[in-house]
Structure 1
Amino acid sequence: MVTGPMGAGKSTLMRSLPGQAPFAPPPGVPEMFLDHACGCRGLQLYEIDEPTALGTRWADWLRAADAFLLVASAAAGPEAVAPLLAHLRATCPETPCLLVVSRCDGAPGWELPVDAVETLAPGAVLDEDRALAEPADIERILARLHGLLEGE
């Protein structure tokens, strides 16, 4: 599951995934409208904004996640994602969490209780509402996510 504050870069990450395939919802979750969802390299990825992820109606979707990709803007700082991270950890304490710090050109040095941290450079702006991430960043994030899911 891809989540984070509004404007953090979740849609940029999702839009930039290579070889997007049809999405298959996890079994046993209620039917809900998703902002963006797709299959990618054997993973089923779905985007849920922070206000939605904090709602009780979406708890089954959180519990269905094999991992969380928590996207945060470097400019907003770690305090911008701390409440959502606390909610994810309280709801699903065993689910690994990969923090993706967007619009970041170097190591952010954030201290948060996550399993791994990756950065996402600013990328290419398509228009005032959309951007694409650098393919190398996406490849690195996908490799780290696969590693977390394999217990590395």
Structure 2
Amino acid sequence: MRDEDVETIRWELTAFSRRARALAERLHPGLSLVSYSLLGHLAEEGGCRATDLAAYFLLDKSTVSRQVGDLERMGLVERLPDPASQRNKILRPTEAGLATLRTAGERQRAAFRARLDDWSDADLAAFARYLVRYNVAD
């Protein structure tokens, strides 16, 4: 039974991931799920280096570089000198980037509320706890 449950979880998380990518395009047009995630992390951290983004999201540096370049061209991210090192740059969201995150976040919350509206408070709280538990595991 445990193997079946693990298989169900694997399949459902795969479906969740596909659905999240499709929803991302509707909720923040022009931004891939990766770009949106990078921008969100930059806002949450107050900025960081591209190598920090790659390490945090387990992405190839070239992928991060490409996505950050897109965000810069859209005016959503800026590169600032790193006070700790002349060779490095700190990436920070611009005001336009923060506004984009706020708008997309409002749309996401509305979409999640609609999808979870008929869940009981207990089920919702349990789901939230399980997601946190799953995501903090190494």
Common fold, TM-score beyond 0.5? no
TM-score, normalised with respect to structure 2: 0.26
More strand by percentage: 1
More helix by percentage: 2
Structure of higher CA gyration radius: 2
Which of the pair has the greater relative contact order for Cα pairs under 8 Å at 6+ separation?
1
